[in-house]
Amino acid sequence: MVTTAGVHSVLGYRRLIVPLLRSGEGLLADALVRRIVRFAWHATSVLMLVSAAAVSWPGTPKGLLAVIGAAWLATGLFNAAYTRGRHIAWPVLSAAGIFALIGGLP
């Protein structure tokens, strides 16, 4: 999860967000919209780190591990289906979910 957050924040930002913001077309012509997109992109990475902390925190309730794991796994599988397997993140997202689910087993 931590690696995914780092790659998302750095590589995703450089390869997706920067070119998108440079286009400056439509809504992206507005400086506030560009700032919100930039913020939301990195906020997603922060939330990945928060879920990683919750999963690795000693004594995290098994139910919370199951919810986090299911969310990561569902995100990975949806990503695979939606992009027809072409997005590089779906296996990592799915694996993170599976590992969190395994950690939540009794």
**For residue range 41-81, what is the model confidence (pLDDT) as tens digits?**
999 999 999 999 999 999 999 999 999 999 999 999 999 99
Ordered DSSP codes for 45-72: HHHHHHHHHHHHSTT--HHHHHHHHHHH
Distance, first Cα to last Cα, the chain = 22
Q: Taking the model in full, what pTM does it have?
A: 0.88
CA distance 90 to 96: 10
